[in-house]
Amino acid sequence: MDALCDHALFNFSVQDADLMDYIEAIQGLLVASPDTDEEQALVLNAINVVEEYILATPHTKATYSYLLPSVSLLKQELSYYVSVPSTLDGPVITDDEQGSMSGALMPSHVPNTWVHMSCAIYLPELYFVHHNVVGLDALKPRRKLKCMFCKQPNKGACAQCAHPKCTASYHVQCALEHGVTFHDTSGTGTSYTSLCPTHHLRRPLPLNQ
């Protein structure tokens, strides 16, 4: 595990302060010599956070795609050391009540509670404070919505179609798996909206409005 502390990923110069913090967080976890399955799973999750951050918007993907081969290689090399547990010590509150491990996870301001990074980015009530996700209490109305894809009510916060009068809703993870695109309508990566499959075909959502 010590050999990974000097991985090529940590030698790149990155201008994005948040991305640099996430990369340094990986190195910090590796320096701490994680030896339990849970600690090693946190390292893998931190790598997933970096990967999803890079892929989250067209701008970050275009600017930092050169990091992806190193991210992928580090993940592969880490797999030789890691036996990933099925759950973390705490619930995943935005995607389902069973503690789904799909997708990168971010810590929330609530102790031992995790949030899918995709939910933290695309649900408007959530935002980051010192790399912790804040705004969970505001998700209560969204948790009552039924996902049009998995058909499961009360299984996590749902996003909603931005088309006027459309009542379609969907979990962010389910939506991404079914090809729904979240568009940056702020131009700054701070506000995203989406259209359900029906209305996306009828009227593509304009950007930056």
pLDDT at 100: 53
pLDDT at 92: 53
Q: What is the pTM assigned to this prediction?
A: 0.55
Q: In the beta sheet, which residues pair with residue 106?
A: 115
User: Between 80 and 3, whose confidence is greater?
Assistant: 3
Spatial neighbors of 195 by CB under 8 A, at least 6 apart, are 161, 162, 163, 180, 203, 204, 205
Give the per-residue SS3 of 59-100.
HHHHHHHHHHHHHHHHHHHHCCCCCCCCCCCCCECCCCCCCC
pLDDT band at 183 (very low <50, low <70, confident <90, very high): confident
User: Between 1 and 143, whose confidence is greater?
Assistant: 143
Averaged pLDDT score across all residues of the chain: 79
pLDDT at 86: 45
